[in-house]
Amino acid sequence: MSYNDILGQDDIKTHLKNAVSLGKISHAYLFAGEDGMGKFEMARTFAASLMCEAGGSEMCGECRSCRQAASRNHPDIIYFDPDDAPDNKQAEYTREKIVGDILVRPYQSEYKVYIIQNAHKMREISQNIILKSIEEPPEYVVLILLADKKESMLQTIRSRCVDMTFRPVKKELIESFLMRKCEVPDYRAKEIAAFSFGNPGAAEKAAVDEEFKERKDLISRLLSGIYDRESYEWIPFIDKMLSDDDNLNEYFDLMEDWFRDLLLNKIGASESKLCYDNQVLKIRECAQRVLFSDIDNSLRAVTRARRALAANVDKGLIIFNMLASFSVKDN
């Protein structure tokens, strides 16, 4: 466990290392970005460096505190996740696990670090509960909030945290990472990196998922003919997706990638930038048949489908209505 294990995010690494070496630790940080971008790993590494007995800007990995941090057994690094709260008792759980504990001094270190996972899932009342701890924390407390989007947090919390936004990682870094760690061939690493849109976690998941290529091929066959098929011809594709419904969001990702490729083709971007670079002729053909507004409408339809999926609407109906939104007349 070290900063070297986290792809990209060099500006964040530099900021955190400088904060430790200069002794200028803030009381609250907001790490914002998609799952898979390295927020949790960065929080753990930063917390470990604060506990390290060697006193450097990074964890030494050898001392007792570093070993405890690596095994998630350090008494002064507390992990909190609102998803662990009992049903309808998130506020009480937050009060007990954070506010009730924060006044207890560290057991063996100078700092006491709270890593708050899925902070975006905290209800407004729970966020307000920890607000006072962020406004007036004991001198030894450091809170690290991990959220998908910083906008999901109250402005009063955001304004009191150091904003650390995790950016997409360069495709070349993800390619070399996949070849090194997942031992995939270079052509497959290139393909997966293109689909990951700078998300190392998503890329690694796809690399070890034997069915990723099958999903990609299914979406390619479906969307390459979406403007010519009758609606009843969608049914086999819909049935296939429903049989793999745990991965519907990945199918939606692949659809978004297809429509982004149409957009890239229409603006004259290099074909090397396409995710579906093995379907260049189909991409060109489809792009010629749609307007920019059609592509925008299709991407919006995917977004609506995601929201409906989260709201537990019938999955088959979600997919059918989304495909119906993709259909356009020849332009």
Residues 30 and 128 in one domain: yes
Per-residue pLDDT tens, the chain, 331 aa: give them: 788 888 889 999 999 999 988 888 899 999 999 888 989 999 999 999 999 988 888 888 889 998 999 998 899 998 988 888 887 788 888 888 888 888 889 888 889 999 999 988 888 888 888 888 888 888 888 999 999 888 888 899 889 899 999 998 888 888 888 888 877 777 778 778 877 778 888 888 878 777 777 888 899 889 988 888 888 888 999 999 999 888 888 899 889 989 988 998 889 888 777 878 778 888 998 898 888 989 999 999 999 998 888 888 899 999 999 998 887 654 4
Last residue of a domain, one of 165, 193, 228: 165
- 216: domain CATH number is 1.20.272.10
Rounded CA separation 32/328 (Å): 37
Classify residue 203: in a domain, yes or no. no
Tell me the whole-structure pTM to 2 decimals.
0.71
Residues 153 and 33 in one domain: yes
Residues 271 and 161 in one domain: no
State the sign of the Cα–Cα–Cα–Cα dihedral 193, 194, 199, 201: negative
Residue-by-residue DSSP string for 224-265: HTTTTS-GGGGHHHHHHHHTTGGGHHHHHHHHHHHHHHHHHH
Q: Find the largest Cα–Cα distance for the chain.
A: 70
Angle at 163 between CA 161 and CA 165, to 5 degrees: 150
Rounded CA separation 250/187 (Å): 21
| Residue range of the domain that includes 315 | 209-326
Residues 226 and 128 in one domain: no
Residues 46 and 146 in one domain: yes
Classify residue 61: in a domain, yes or no. yes
Rounded CA separation 283/277 (Å): 9
Residues 122 and 232 in one domain: no
3-class DSSP assignment, residue 143: strand
